[in-house]
Amino acid sequence: MADNHGNTPAAWTGVAVAMLGFVIGCVALMLSPVSMVLFWVGVALGVIALPVFLVMAKMGLNH
C-alpha cells in the first residue's frame, strides 16, 4: 500500500462532498415536516462524490 493512501486532495475532496451530502440528508430528515427535496439533494451529493474523486484522480491529484 502506498505511503499516502487516502491522504490526497482527491480523496479528501471526495470524502468531504460525501460527508456534506450525508449531513444535509440527515438534517432534512430531522426537520418537521421532513424536507424530501433537501433529503434528495443530500443523496445526490453523496452520489456525486465518487465522480468528483475519479475526475480529480484523473487530473493527477491522487499522488
- Angstrom CA distances, 24 to 9, 28, 29, 34, 35, stand at 22, 6, 9, 12, 10
> Per the domain annotation, does 1 fall within a domain?
no
Q: Looking at the 3D structure of the chain, how many domains does it have?
A: 1
pLDDT at 6: 72
Q: Does 2 map to a domain?
A: no
Local confidence band at 2 (pLDDT 50, 70, 90 cut-offs): low
Q: What does DSSP assign to residue 58?
A: H
- What CA–CA distances, in Å, run from 61 to 22, 23, 47? 24, 25, 20
How much is the pLDDT for 24? 98
Q: Could you list the residue range(s) of the whole structural domain that residue 35 is in?
A: 9-58
4: in domain: no
Q: What is the pTM of this model?
A: 0.87
DSSP one-letter string for 10-30 = HHHHHHHHHHHHHHHHHHHHH
Peptide bond into 33 cis (omega under 30): yes
Residues 16-63 have pLDDT tens digits of: 999 999 999 999 999 999 999 999 999 999 999 999 999 999 999 988
Domain presence at residue 3: no
* pLDDT for residue 1: 54
